[in-house]
Amino acid sequence: MSKKKNEHPLLLAAGLALGCMAAYNCSESKKATANNVNHKEECRIYSGRFGNISYKHYGSGKPVLLIHDLNPASGMTEWAPTAKALSESHSVYIIDLPGCGFSDKSSLEYSAYMYALAINDFVHNRICRSHDVDGICAVASSASSPLLVCAASLDASLYSNICLINPQTIENCYCNPTTNPSLVKLERIVCNTPIVGSFIYNLHYSRNNILSRISADNPYLTDEAKEELADSMYEASHLGGYTSKFLFSSIMGNLLSLDINRMLDKLTTSTCIIAGADNKKVKNKLSTFDKDKDNISTIILDDINNPQLECPERLATILNELITH
């Protein structure tokens, strides 16, 4: 009997490890989504070809679309203060991109082209038809900026002007440092596994890790604001349970890489770039957008890192001026 018990100690250890991971995954998902921090009851639903997109609508007037950073923990809450300030004179839409927040998190491979199509579908079918306008102003932050550039390149008629907040080029943000394609593919396969992949995802998007990244990226926010943002992003990153990790898997697999240089060369839509002067990561990437074209302008905000989080009312004033001129 003793010999039989010790025949497969590694299998027993592996089974115990998987059991512990599964228990942690279940606990983390329940803990993250227990308090409805992001107020699902306030959301509306647009049903598109890539699943349901959750959004909120404020105010009336000329329509504006605000798009959050492309990150599994990001969501429309990032834009709520700016949206409410801007809604005093405009009809403002904020959305959760597919794979984020309350929107559907399908088990598919996410790509920049897919996101561009999803944005255009929402603009055309939900905003333009509701307001009977030909083009709108759209604003995107950080790694979603190239998605908006791609969307405007695909159908410029949908946009009167676009604005990029702290724009980052996806090939810089979401290019896995691993150069071995086979290893990158293996990482994506591991990330897609039900237990181990979810465990890796849940560790990366634990509340402590999210709060640490917020503190590092937003040094000017108060401690209270950082805690509130961490609660929001923690919930957003775990809504959907098991399917929450598929955007993360696509990022790890380099599926969101996008070279926008040629798109910028051909882009005719009026484009404004707003960047925080203290955001060194962004300043190093602004050269990508320096095309010496009349339709591209830049505004640098002194003593600011992330405008939509640190000075939402000031940003709303700037956007209002851009929209009305």
DSSP β-bridge partners for residue 44: 55
Token reading at 303 = 């003593």
Alpha carbons 273 and 291: distance in angstroms, whole number: 12
Backbone φ, ψ for residue 156 (5° rounding): -65, -20
- For the residues 67-96, what does the mean pLDDT come to? 96
User: How high does pLDDT run on average in the chain?
Assistant: 90
Task: Delineate the domains of the chain, giving CATH numbers in brackets.
Answer: 40-172+258-324 (3.40.50.1820)
pLDDT of residue 170: 65
Which pTM does this prediction carry? 0.92
pLDDT of 159 over the 70 cut: yes
Q: What single letter denotes the amino acid at residue 15?
A: G
Alpha carbons 274 and 271: distance in angstroms, whole number: 10
CA torsion through residues 191, 49, 133, 96, sign: negative
pLDDT of residue 236: 97
- For the residues 13-26, what does the mean pLDDT come to? 91
pLDDT of residue 12: 87
pLDDT of residue 1: 45
Backbone φ, ψ for residue 92 (5° rounding): -110, 130
pLDDT of residue 253: 83
pLDDT of 6 over the 90 cut: no
Alpha carbons 264 and 152: distance in angstroms, whole number: 10
Give me the count of residues in the chain: 325
Tell me: the pLDDT tens digits for 265-322?
A: 889 999 999 999 998 888 777 888 888 889 999 999 999 999 999 999 999 999 999 8
Neighbours of 85 (CB within 10 A): 20
Alpha carbons 117 and 222: distance in angstroms, whole number: 37
Tell me: the pLDDT tens digits for 123-158?
A: 999 999 999 888 999 999 999 999 999 999 999 999
pLDDT of 95 over the 60 cut: yes
